[in-house]
Chains A and B, each alone.
Chain A
Amino acid sequence: MIELRDDCLHMRFPDVHPEARMSLHFQRTLRIPDDGGHYPLPAGLGPFPLRHVDDFADSVPPLWLEHGGVMLPMYQSEALWVNFDGGYPFAVKIAAGKIDAVTGKPWSNALHRRPQDYVTVPKQPWLDGYCVEKGVIRQFVAMPLGSGYSAEEQLTGKSEVGGLQLIAYPLKRTAYEKWIAERARAIEALPAASMMLSRCRGLDMGLALGGRMRQEIYDDPFQLSDWDQNHAARCFVHIANSQVWRAITGEEPPTTPLTAKEYRSHGIPWFEYYGEGKAVAGVGILDRLKSLAQIGAEKGDAPPLDDETITVDRVVVLREGLEKGQVREGRF
């Protein structure tokens, strides 16, 4: 089951195991430049607000009610990353516009191993974008659905879905008990507004491919049969344009995203994360897609984006097994 609490999605499978819990939220972050460079991970600048679409049934599009799930507000060209928290292993599929973010293939509920179309938690603490090649992602950046920028529109030629989709499967109880026993041994061995909305274009946002960032999608350390595919938590995360968030919810949208200049002047660090184990390779679908900057240049859109190269001057290195206090956050 999935519960929404404090802008966080909490998933629990008490039928599988009392410890089978994971939470997930969406972090606001700096949009990195799409300048051909490979950036480290930008800091989280606070979670996006999340609301049940059912709570605003009178003001959200009917399709959102059909999809169910939750919604969050994003400004055009704002970036997002997904944060996973929890110690119990989960396999999580994430898609944008029903395009799998790891493989670029169309959405399906089931897990696939070759190529791997999901991330594994707790190995994977974050996901910042579409996996375009081994160890490299292109950042998730919001653009109005219908403007042709999203992976969905480039791959399907349609702009019907938008948003983010996710499904999580817990590890089977037997596999968990074996894993936790092995882990304990390994640790011991170590040295220590509906009318207005109907007129409003660009309510729905899709996720385009932003700048390149160093982030590995870790190879599943378990067998495919270790995942309990009889138990799943699935959720559609709608992305509303921030400008109309107030009309839908009556709440103020978050402040406009930080610019690269502000990020630097506040001394907010960047992060590198080193996990153990192999990374999956890109499948070759997402890498062929055009980035936001490329499409913008082709369309001759007024350059809305500041793509000037950023000097990365402060990098914090985090390693697998994040301890308390080791967070990927920036204060400003």
Chain B
Amino acid sequence: MTNGFGDYVRRRREALREADSGYSVRQVAQRIGVEPSFLSKVERGEAAPPSEAKIVALAGELGEDADVLLALAGKVSSDLQQAIRHRPELFAALIREMKDLPDHAVLRLVREVRDGTW
């Protein structure tokens, strides 16, 4: 079993722990509502990543982007799944069309705050 997710979480948590002892496995596990032994297994790649909600909570704890952590865990957030299911053809075409575009070109598609005349 590849352990990109667990490794990443452990590295981030340990980096934070250097400055703050509140980032021990036990305390982080408590704050996101899982057993410390489970989080420890996840970090070592001995257990599959937790549920979406727990990954989102973990991302919040570690100051990471939730979508990035979900992707590492092989998941896609449920709001994105819902958006795709709602308009499957449009989004499938859009994602396939955009998958090789450079980041800055993709970012231009994000909804901007419109500036007017003032």
- Interface residues, chain A, with chain B CB atoms under 8 Å away: 1-4, 9, 12, 14-15, 18, 52, 54, 65-70, 98, 161, 165, 234-236, 323-325
Q: Which of A1, A9, A66 contacts B118 (CB 8 A)?
A: A66
Q: B110 to A236, Cβ gap below 8 A?
A: no
Q: If A1-B107, A15-B104 touch, does A68 touch B20 (CB 8 Å cutoff)?
A: no
Interface SS of chain B: loop
CA distance A31 to B15 in the complex (A): 39
Closest-by-CB residue of A relative to B111 is: A3
Q: For residue B63, which residues in chain A have a CB less than 8 angstroms away from its CB?
A: 324
Q: A3 to B116, Cβ gap below 8 A?
A: no
Q: A161 to B113, Cβ gap below 8 A?
A: no
* Any A CB within 8 A of the CB of B16: yes
Tell me, rounded to whole Å, the shortest Cβ–Cβ distance linking A301 to chain B. 30
* Any A CB within 8 A of the CB of B96: no
Q: For residue A65, which residues in chain B have a CB less than 8 angstroms away from its CB?
A: 116
Closest-by-CB residue of B relative to A107 is: B118
Tell me, rounded to whole Å, the shortest Cβ–Cβ distance linking B73 to chain A. 22
Closest-by-CB residue of B relative to A232 is: B115
CA distance A52 to B29 in the complex (A): 37
Q: A9 to B117, Cβ gap below 8 A?
A: no
Q: If A14-B107, A323-B19, A324-B19 touch, does A1 touch B112 (CB 8 Å cutoff)?
A: yes
Interface residues of B in 56-82 (CB under 8 A from A): 63
New A-B pairs, 9, CB < 8 Å, besides A3-B111, A98-B118, A236-B116:
A3-B113, A4-B111, A12-B107, A66-B116, A69-B115, A69-B116, A235-B115, A323-B19, A324-B19
Q: Which of B20, B104, B107 contacts A324 (CB 8 A)?
A: B20
Q: Which of B20, B107, B110, B114 contacts A52 (CB 8 A)?
A: B114
- Interface residues, chain B, with chain A CB atoms under 8 Å away: 16, 19-20, 63, 103-104, 107-108, 110-118
Q: For residue A165, which residues in chain B have a CB less than 8 angstroms away from its CB?
A: 118
Q: For residue A70, which residues in chain B have a CB less than 8 angstroms away from its CB?
A: 113
Q: For residue B108, which residues in chain A have a CB less than 8 angstroms away from its CB?
A: 1
Closest-by-CB residue of A relative to B104 is: A14
Tell me, rounded to whole Å, the shortest Cβ–Cβ distance linking A253 to chain B. 21
Q: A4 to B104, Cβ gap below 8 A?
A: no
Q: For residue B19, which residues in chain A have a CB less than 8 angstroms away from its CB?
A: 323-324
Q: If A3-B110, A324-B19 touch, does A18 touch B103 (CB 8 Å cutoff)?
A: yes
Closest-by-CB residue of B relative to A70 is: B113
CA distance A25 to B112 in the complex (A): 16
Tell me, rounded to whole Å, the shortest Cβ–Cβ distance linking A212 to chain B. 29
Q: Which of B16, B104, B112, B117 contacts A66 (CB 8 A)?
A: B117
Q: If A14-B107, A15-B104 touch, does A2 touch B113 (CB 8 Å cutoff)?
A: yes
Q: A68 to B116, Cβ gap below 8 A?
A: yes
Q: For residue A324, which residues in chain B have a CB less than 8 angstroms away from its CB?
A: 16, 19-20, 63
Closest-by-CB residue of A relative to B20 is: A325
CA distance A301 to B19 in the complex (A): 53
Q: List 16 A-B contacts (CB under 8 A).
A: A1-B110, A2-B112, A3-B112, A4-B113, A18-B103, A52-B113, A52-B114, A65-B116, A67-B117, A68-B118, A165-B118, A235-B115, A236-B115, A236-B118, A324-B16, A325-B20
CA distance A15 to B107 in the complex (A): 10
Q: If A14-B103, A14-B107 touch, does A67 touch B116 (CB 8 Å cutoff)?
A: yes
Q: B110 to A234, Cβ gap below 8 A?
A: no
Q: If A161-B118, A165-B118 touch, does A69 touch B113 (CB 8 Å cutoff)?
A: yes
CA distance A147 to B110 in the complex (A): 39
Closest-by-CB residue of B relative to A16 is: B104
Tell me, rounded to whole Å, the shortest Cβ–Cβ distance linking A94 to chain B. 14
Tell me, rounded to whole Å, the shortest Cβ–Cβ distance linking B106 to chain A. 9
Q: For residue A69, which residues in chain B have a CB less than 8 angstroms away from its CB?
A: 113-116
| Chain A CB within 10 A, most for which of B63, B113, B114, B116 | B113
Tell me, rounded to whole Å, the shortest Cβ–Cβ distance linking B19 to chain A. 7
